[in-house]
Amino acid sequence: MRLNKKIAILVFVLLATLAGSKSAFAQQDPMYTQYMDNLLVVNPGYAGSQEVGSVLLVARSQWVSFDGAPATRSFAYNTSVENKKIGIGFSIMSDKIGPLKQTGVYFDYSYLLPVSEKFTLAMGLKGGVSFYRASLTELETISPDPIFDNDIYENFLPNVGVGFYLFSDDTYFGLSVPKLIENKITRENLSIEYINKQQMHVYFVGGHRFDLNADYQLKTSTLVKWVQNAPVAFDLTALAGFRERVWIGAFYRFNDAYGIIAQFKPSPKMTIGYSYDLTISELNGFNNGSHEIMFSYDLDLFSRSRSTESLSEK
């Protein structure tokens, strides 16, 4: 019997939903290719680390042409506060794959501490809540099964996270756990302990900027994501820039995907980015790649001027 795409995505979703803590599909947090511009989502220490406040919007469509493929939308804002060594931020995220949908609202706070003439260490806290729904009644099954008779709702899943972000004008390193609480997602009418739970993810990020000359720049970055019972995710990215206005580059996600990134700054405060991923895993025969659009705009809600040097003087 031939499996069509609807049955294939159904099998994938059921494995991810029903396998519990030993699931092979344990990586639940959304994936971003332009992660270097979206660090607030994974590391609260990033809040207030830039010279200006910033609004960021990201829309990602993964595995295009694959029925029920992941679709992610996120909004984030962060800034530092005048005359204080703190940063604040918040983010809203919506992620959907097949019948599964989760939405999260999180707030971030960071304390910025100069550790040398060049580097500042930001220590961040994240707190918020997620909302989860599995629309199991919408699935088409081959034979009746009581597990699909009711949808799953978890309308309040609170969580907290921590992050450390060490940065200078041209270099950064970060280590974070954005969700420390592994909330269980339950079904009261089932005789199993739980269907799934929010897995704890550990992130490491790093990057460096090279100013080759007055016209050309090079930015390199990496992201490592670890979660129990899943392969380690490892991204490498390089972007070449021309006069700070046009950036073109490529990335490689080990054993998963590779692709291109293009970013353009129509004004000093605005950045528009696009990335395209090509899958190299077992799913490459079922999709036409992934698209991601990023928009950022510098917006100061607090009038201030801050630099690493000025922080060290306080």
Contact predicate 270/263, CB 8 Å: no
CA distance 103 to 266: 31
pLDDT of 283 strictly over 70: no
Among positive and negative, which fits the CA dihedral 227, 232, 233, 237? Answer: positive
pLDDT at 247 (0 to 100): 97
Percent of the chain with pLDDT over 90: 51
pLDDT tens profile 167-210: 999 999 999 999 999 887 765 544 444 456 778 899 999 999 99
* Beta strands 171-177 and 184-185, pairing class: unpaired
3-class SS at 114? strand
More confident residue, 22 or 225: 225
Which of the following CATH numbers is that of domain 5-312: 3.40.50.300, 3.40.50.2020, 2.60.40.1180, 2.40.160.40?
A: 2.40.160.40
β-partners of residue 63 are none
CA distance 36 to 82: 25
CA distance 38 to 206: 13
pLDDT tens profile 34-93: 999 999 999 999 999 988 899 999 999 877 666 667 789 999 999 998 777 899 999 999
3-class SS at 301? coil
CA distance 18 to 11: 10
Taking the whole predicted model, whether its pTM rises above 0.85 is answered as: no
| Tokens representing residue 19 in the block | 């396998």
Distance of CA 270 to the CA centre of its chain: 21
Q: Where are the domains of the chain?
A: 5-312
CA distance 61 to 41: 18
For residue 110, give the nearest of 64, 162, 68, 65 by alpha carbon: 162
Per-residue pLDDT band for 307 (boundaries 50, 70, 90) equals: very low
Per-residue pLDDT band for 29 (boundaries 50, 70, 90) equals: confident
The CA-based angle 115-119-122, given to 5 degrees, is: 75
CA distance 145 to 143: 6
| Tokens representing residue 290 in the block | 């992934």
pLDDT at 193 (0 to 100): 46
